[in-house]
Amino acid sequence: MYYDWANSAYSIIITTAVFPIFYKAAATNAGVSPSDSTAYLGYTIAIFTFILAIIGPILGTIADYRGYKKKFFTFFFALGVSATALLAFIPSDSWLLLLIVYTFAALGSTGANVFYDAFLVDVTNEEKMDRVSARGYGLGYIGSTIPFLLAIAIILLAQKEILPISANIASKIAFIITAVWWGLFSIPLFKNVHQRYYIEREPNPIVNSFKRLGTTFKEIKKYRALFLFLLAYFFYIDGVGTVISMSTAYGTDLGISATSLLIVLFVTQIVAAPFAMLYGRLAQKFTGKKMLYVGIFVYIIVCVYAFFLKTTLDFWILAMLVATSQGGIQALSRSYFAKLVPKQNANEFFGFYNIFGKFASIMGPLLVGVTAQITGKSNTGVFSLVILFIIGFIILTRVPEPSEAK
């Protein structure tokens, strides 16, 4: 749970809030149009998610060997933290270099999450997975508000010239804060979390990992419930991820001020925390699957409402709707999947979880990016995500409960 607390600072400051605004300003100063800069951000997200989607299952299969899970986690964690800190030293007018370094930071963050998510089977039992996963997301939202509030305070004080620094320097300080926070609160995971389920090491681990990966594909019918869930997840998580990663750029295109965006996102984190935990509690009463239905329905409403969004008040309403289900749908997806996987092969299957999630994340940003350039309007692309949620919902109805799948 402390790692959720740690890396959520990256999610809000780099993925959602400060970096997109910083990048958009750099691109605008370089003469790039708003719709083009939004599209380039979408293409960048598509590129790094494609890379991770390709290597995720391969590395996950290797990580199932004893002692490998934490080593892979550590590599991606170090890559993410160092690249995040490096963002602070990129010239603010170098928008292309910003996107390149952001790619490495995002690879580190999302790559580490593959192995972090797989640790869920090592730290709790199936009865508690929904609550543990949801509490992790809830603590993440709470923890992220502290560095985010600090970052907002520094940026606003710089804008009002109360601090003797520019807003540009203030944003770079926010990147440093993120890296320090992420690194510091990851220490409990390194100290206390260990791989309990594993495959014993054997000669030629890489070759044998590919063989096991091939065997899994051959025996795919054996894991019908698991892969059917992944197919549903592929569609609905695409919309969720796109809304998270591109919401700030979308709000900027609508003319909403950077200050308003930061405040909205801060309140969103506050509201999302109790709702994520509420999803975990309700899942124990009504089942995780039914709560996933609720989350998908809320996001359909979000996409429809986004199409008509015009004012800052509209953006506030949209953000609060997202806050009610953003953490819950992600937390319960993670725990639902963890209940379905063979525990000793958790990394391999969470690699597939990653590949389905990341390939989905290519489609959404590309759709928004292409539509934004063709129509000159970002809201059309957001509205088109409705179809993905509907398809995901329909497929999810075919997925059995974890207890029935075994």
Q: How confident is the model at residue 237 (pLDDT cuts 50, 70, 90)?
A: confident
**Gap between the Cα atoms of 373 and 42, Å rounded:** 11
Structure confidence by residue, pLDDT tens digits, 250-303:
677 677 777 777 788 778 878 888 998 999 899 988 888 999 999 999 999 988
Q: 313-328 as b/e, with b when 16 or more CB fall inside 10 Å?
A: eebbebbebbbbbbbb
Do 48 and 347 meet the contact criterion of CB atoms below 8 Å apart? no
Q: What values do phi and psi take at 119, rounded to 5?
A: -70, -15
Does the pLDDT of residue 352 top 90, yes or no? no
**Helix, coil or strand: residue 146:** helix
User: What pLDDT is attached to residue 182?
Assistant: 95
**Gap between the Cα atoms of 281 and 359, Å rounded:** 30
Q: What is the DSSP letter of 74?
A: H
369 part of a folded domain:
yes
Looking at the structure of the chain, the number of domains it has is 1
Q: Quick one: which of 89, 88, 105, 93 has its CA closest to 45? A: 105
CA 245 to chain centre: 8
Does the pLDDT of residue 221 top 70, yes or no? no
Which tokens belong to 247?
């919401």
Determine which of 35-39, 111-115, 126-130 has the lowest per-residue pLDDT on average.
35-39
Structure confidence by residue, pLDDT tens digits, 156-184:
888 888 888 888 899 899 999 999 999 99
100: number of Cβ within 10 Å: 13
Q: Which residues constitute the domain of residue 98?
A: 2-194+206-405
Q: What angle do CA 60, 272, 120 make, to 5 degrees?
A: 25
**Gap between the Cα atoms of 26 and 91, Å rounded:** 9
401: number of Cβ within 10 Å: 15
201 part of a folded domain:
no
Segment 192-218 shows an average pLDDT of: 74
123 part of a folded domain:
yes
200 part of a folded domain:
no
Does the pLDDT of residue 347 top 80, yes or no? no
CATH assignment of the domain containing 280 = 1.20.1250.20
Q: What values do phi and psi take at 333, rounded to 5?
A: -65, -45
Does the pLDDT of residue 60 top 80, yes or no? no
Segment 342-346 shows an average pLDDT of: 74
Going by C-beta distance under 8 Å and a sequence separation of 6 or more, which residues neighbour residue 368?
38, 42, 242, 246, 250, 378, 381, 382, 385
Structure confidence by residue, pLDDT tens digits, 319-340:
898 889 988 998 899 899 888 8
Segment 306-330 shows an average pLDDT of: 85
**Gap between the Cα atoms of 196 and 399, Å rounded:** 28
Q: What is the average pLDDT score of the chain?
A: 83
Work out the burial of residue 263: count CB atoms within 10 Å of its CB; fewer than 13 is exposed, 13-18 middle, 19 or more buried: middle
CA 4 to each of CA 10, 117, 132, 218, 233: distance values in angstroms, whole numbers, following the listed order: 10, 10, 11, 35, 21
Does the pLDDT of residue 220 top 70, yes or no? no
Q: What values do phi and psi take at 192, rounded to 5?
A: -115, -20
pTM of the model: 0.76
Segment of 46-50, 117-121, 241-245 carrying the highest mean pLDDT: 117-121
Q: Quick one: which of 110, 101, 7 has its CA closest to 52? A: 110
199 part of a folded domain:
no
Q: 360-396 as b/e, with b when 16 or more CB fall inside 10 Å?
A: bbbbbbbbbbebbbeeeebbbbbbbbbebbebbbebb
Which tokens belong to 166?
């520019």
The residue whose two tokens read 């709000």 is: 251
User: What pLDDT is attached to residue 34?
Assistant: 75
401 part of a folded domain:
yes
**Gap between the Cα atoms of 95 and 26, Å rounded:** 5
